Structure 1
Amino acid sequence: MVGVFRVSHKPCLILVSPKGESNLGGIARLMANFDLTDLRLVQHRCDRDSDEVKKMSLQAFSLVENAKTFDRLSEAQADLRWTLALSMRAAGEGHPQRSLFELDRPFWKRDEPWGILLGREDSGLTNEELRQTNLQVSIPSSTEFPSLNIVSAAAVVLSRWFEATHQDASELRRPLSSKPLKREEDLFFRGLSNLLRDIGFLKSDSSTHVLEDLRDIYQRAEIQERDLRILFGILSDLARTCEKKIFSSGSGGGKKSCSSE
C-alpha cells in the first residue's frame, strides 16, 4: 500500500560547499529513496557531471542536473521559512540545539517551506552559517568516533522524517486487506479450544487463563482475513488427523486422541 503524505511541504536539501563527487551522487540517490526533489548547492567544489556522480546517483542523476546553485547560503534559503542544520559543533549557547532523538513526530510535520542543511565534508558549517538556521540538530553517536559522513547523516535524518510524516512502515508494506468478522474469530477460537481440550493440552483448572493468553497473542498479531483462513486450514487438518469434530457447538470429542500415550 502506498504511503499517504500527511504534510504540505517536503524539505529541500541544501549542501554547503560539497567537495566529494561520490557524496553528491549519494545524496541524490538518497533523496530519490525518500521522494524528495529539491536539491540546492552552495558554492559546490565538485564536478556535477562527473562519472562518479552519475555512478553514485544511479537513476537519480536528474536531481543533480536540476539542482539549484547559489553563491551564498542566504540566497539558497531565501524562499524558505524554516531551516534545520546538522552539526555536532555548537554554534553557541544561545542558538537552539536539539538531539535528533528528542524530535517527536509533530515536529517533522511542517506546513511551511523548509530545508535541511548539510555542511562541508572536511569542516562542516561555520558558526555564522549555523546561526542563519532556526535549529541545530546533532545525531547521537560514539564519543570516540562521533563524525558521520554527510550521506550517512542525511540517511538517518530523512529516515526519521519519512517515518514521522508517512504511514508506519508496517502499513506501507502491508497489502490491502481487512480484519476478519468477529463471528469468524469466535468460531476459530471455539475450534481451537475444543481441539486443545481433546488432546489434553487444556486442563480444567487452567483453561480460561491459557485461552485468554492465546486471544492476546492473536490480537497482537493483527490477524487479517487471509491470515485467519490459513489458521482455519491448519486447525482443520490437525482435527482431521485426530479425527475430531472441533467446529461443532459442543466441546468436541471423537474417541481417538492425538496426544502422546
Structure 2
Amino acid sequence: MDTSIYALLPEEERKEEKPKRYTSKFRQTAKEEYAGGRGNYRTMGQAKVPVPTTDSYLKKHEKEPVLPRKEEFHYPDEAYNRPPVPGRTNQPLMGLKTNKNFITTNAVENITSVPKKPAKKFVDTKNGDAHNLIPSGLQPVFVHKKNFGEVPVYLNKRNEEVKRAQEEYDAYVSEHFRRGALRSLTNDERQIIIDGLKANWEDVHERYQGISVVTDTTPKKNRKERMEAHMKQLEKDIEMFEKFTTIYIGN
C-alpha cells in the first residue's frame, strides 16, 4: 500500500555530520619553528627596523668588485721559454756519406746466423699420415703429406657427373638430328633473320616518331606503350641472334 500509519508520526530532523577538518602532521613543528625563529627574522622580517642615519647612503663605486692589485707576469721556470732562433751563420751539416757496404754486411749476417731447428714429426691418429711440425706453433706442413697435390675425391666425382650429363645431352641432340626434329641455322639464314628484325624495328621506330609528344588521352598513351614494348622485344631478339652463332630450330 502507498500509505502507512507510521507516516503520521513526526520524524526527527537529521543533521549532516561534516567530516573532521584536516590537520597537518607538521602543524606543531611549524608552530615551534615560528615561535623560536622570531629573533632570526625568518618570516616577517625584523621586529624593529633601525632608523636610517645620514651617513648610510650609497657611495660611488661602492658596489663594484674589488680586483687584486696588478703585478708583472713572470714565467715559473726558464725551461718553459722557447729556444732561441738559430743564427744566420749557423748552418746544419750537409753532404754526409757512409762507406758501409750493405750487400756484404747482409751476406755476412746470413752466413754467420744460427740455423733453425729441424721440424718435428707427428703421426695423425685419424689417417695414419706423418706430418712435419713447425717448432714454434705445432702447425702441420701439408707439403709432406702422401696425397699432397692430388685432386680431391669430391671433385673427381663432380667431374664424372658433369661428363656423364654432357654425354647424355650430346646423345639427345644427335638423336633429334638423326630423326630430323632439329636442324641448325646457317649463317646466311641467321643474317636474313637479323636483317628482317632490324627492318621491323626501323618501321616501328618511324611510326613511333610520328606520334604526338603530348599523350593527353588514353588511346595515345596505350599506343605509345605498345610501340615501346614492341621495339624493346625486337632489340632483345636482335641481340640474341647476334650473340649465338649456332641456333637449332624445328625441322
- Which TM-score bucket, shorter chain as reference? under 0.3
Q: Return the index of the structure with the highest Cα Rg.
A: 2
TM-score normalised by length of structure 1: 0.21
TM-score normalised by length of structure 2: 0.21
Q: Give the number of the structure with larger relative contact order, counting CA–CA contacts within 8 Å between residues 6 or more apart.
A: 1
Higher strand share: 1
